[in-house]
Amino acid sequence: MFHYSHFQKAVWILLGSFIVVPLLTGVVCRGDSAASPTTPPAKGTSQAKSDPPTLWSFAWASDMHMNASKVQYMAQAMRYIDTKLHPRFVLITGDNNYIQAPPDPHNQNESKDLRRQRYFKQFLKQHLKTPAVVLPGDNWPEEFEKVFGPRQFSFDCGGIHFLCLAPDRIYHGKNQEGLSVFDEVSRKWIRKDLHKNQDNPTIVAIHEPIYPMTFLDAPPLRKLLAKYPNVFAVLQGHVHVDLEYRKDGKCYLVAPALGEPPTPGCKLVNVTPTGLVVRTILHNKQTGKFETQPRRQIIEIPVALRSRIAKPKGAKFKKSNYSSAPARPVVSDPSLEQRKGELVKNAMMYFLDGKQ
C-alpha cells in the first residue's frame, strides 16, 4: 500500500533532485547522478591523489529498516564496514530495526518496542566489531533510551564535536511523517551544548532532515544552527536518497538508505587536516557486493578551527567530552496533528530558498 509517508518522501526526492536545483540561488543540491566534486581514486586506494591525507575516518549508515528478509544482507554490510573501511566508529542515523528479540523470561511486561531495541543491539554486537553511535529514527523510536541511552547527546573525537539529536514528541497520524518536536528541556540542552562548543568544529547528526525541512521543528533548529559558523556539516537520513545541500555556510547531507531502495548504500567520512572527504559506497545488486563510487563530496572545516583536528589517541574509540540531555521516553503526542499544515509551509519555504 502506498501510504502518505511514502508520497511525502517521493515529493522531497523530486523537489531536491529535479525541481529546486535550477531555481534556487546559493543552494547546491546533488543526487546520485548529479554533478559533484569528483575525482577518480588513485589506483589501489580509495583516496584520490588530490585529497589531503586522511587522519581518521568514520562510517555513516542510515535507514537500515531491518526485517527478517534483510538480516543476511545487513550482516554482509557490517562485515564490509569492519574489513574494508576500518572506521573509528559507525554513525547510525535512525530507522533501525523492526525485528523483535525473543521475549525475556524474566520480564513478562516487556514491550515489543523494547524487544526491537534489544534485537538491534544484539545484532550489532554479533555482526559489527567497530563501535557504533546509534540514533533513533521516526520509525520504532520507542524504548530506545532503555537500551541505547539518551536520544540527545554529544561527544568529541579527533578534534571534531558531534552533536547527535532526536525529537522528544512524535505523532504518526494516518501514516503522516514529520509531526515531531523537541521539548524545552532538550532545546535548552542543545543551546547550552552549542554555546559551550562554539570554538570546536561541529557536526550535527539527526534522522529527519533539518534542511530540507521535513519535520515541525526543522525551521527553528536550522535558525539556531545558522548562528554557529563552527557547525560545518549536518548528517541526515529519512529521505532514502543521497542528497547534498549547501546552505547557511554549512553542508547538509542526506544519506542513502542502507536497507531501502532506490540505491542502498552508506558513506565513509575521511577526516583530513582541512575538512571531510565523503565517499559513497553502494550495494551492487547484480554482483551482490558493496562498491566505493568515484564520487567525492568535499566539506571544508572553517580555517580558524582546523588546528583542532588531529588523529585520535589510542586504538579504542572513546567519546571524550561526552554530554547528554536526560534520558527520557519518546512521547506520542496526538496534538501535533493540528500542526500538520506547517509541514506544507516548510516545504514552500524550502522551495522558495528558505526565505522566511
pLDDT at 44: 33
Q: What is the pLDDT of residues 261-282, one digit of tens each?
A: 889 999 999 999 999 999 999 9
pLDDT at 174: 76
Question: Could you tell me the pLDDT band of residue 1, with boundaries at 50, 70 and 90?
Answer: very low
Cell numbers given for 337: 496533528
Q: Please write down the long-range contacts of 315-322, taking CB distance under 8 Å and 24 or more positions apart.
A: 316/131, 317/88, 317/89, 317/130, 317/131, 317/157, 318/157, 319/133, 319/155, 319/156, 319/157, 320/155, 320/156, 320/157, 321/154, 321/155, 321/156, 321/161, 321/197, 322/153, 322/154, 322/155
CB-based contacts of 24: which residues, under 8 Å, 6+ apart? Answer: 353
Q: Which residues partner with 58 through β-bridges?
A: 269
Q: Which CATH class is domain 4-39+51-351?
A: alpha beta
Q: Which residues partner with 93 through β-bridges?
A: 135
Domain ranges within the chain, ordered by starting residue: 4-39+51-351
Question: Could you tell me the pLDDT band of residue 353, with boundaries at 50, 70 and 90?
Answer: low
Q: Residue 155 pLDDT more than 80? A: yes
Question: Could you tell me the pLDDT band of residue 175, with boundaries at 50, 70 and 90?
Answer: confident
Q: Residue 202 pLDDT more than 50? A: yes
Q: What is the pLDDT of residues 317-345, one digit of tens each?
A: 999 999 999 999 999 999 999 999 999 98
CA distances from 241 to 11, 136, 236 (A): 12, 18, 10
pLDDT at 352: 80
Of the chain, the percentage scoring pLDDT greater than 90 comes to 77
pLDDT at 48: 55
CA distances from 213 to 22, 206, 278, 343 (A): 19, 12, 23, 8
Q: In this structure, which amino acid lies at residue 286?
A: Q
Backbone angles phi and psi of 45, in degrees to 5 = -145, 155
What is the side-by-side strand order in the sheet with 320-324?
A: 243-247, 250-254, 231-236, 202-206, 160-165, 153-157, 320-324
Average pLDDT over residues 245-257: 96
pLDDT at 69: 97
Q: Residue 157 pLDDT more than 80? A: yes
Q: Distance (Å, rounded) from C-alpha 89 to C-alpha 289?
A: 22
Q: Residue 38 pLDDT more than 80? A: no
Of the chain, the percentage scoring pLDDT greater than 70 comes to 85
What is the side-by-side strand order in the sheet with 169-170?
A: 180-181, 169-170, 331-332
Closest by CA position to 352, among listed 15, 7, 9 = 15
Cell numbers given for 238: 529519512
The packing angle between helices 341-351 and 218-226, to 10°, is 40
Q: What is the pLDDT of residues 67-105, one digit of tens each?
A: 999 999 999 999 999 999 999 999 999 999 999 999 988
Kindly report the pTM of this predicted structure. Answer: 0.88
Backbone angles phi and psi of 78, in degrees to 5 = -65, -40
Residue 100 CB neighbour total at 10 angstroms: 16
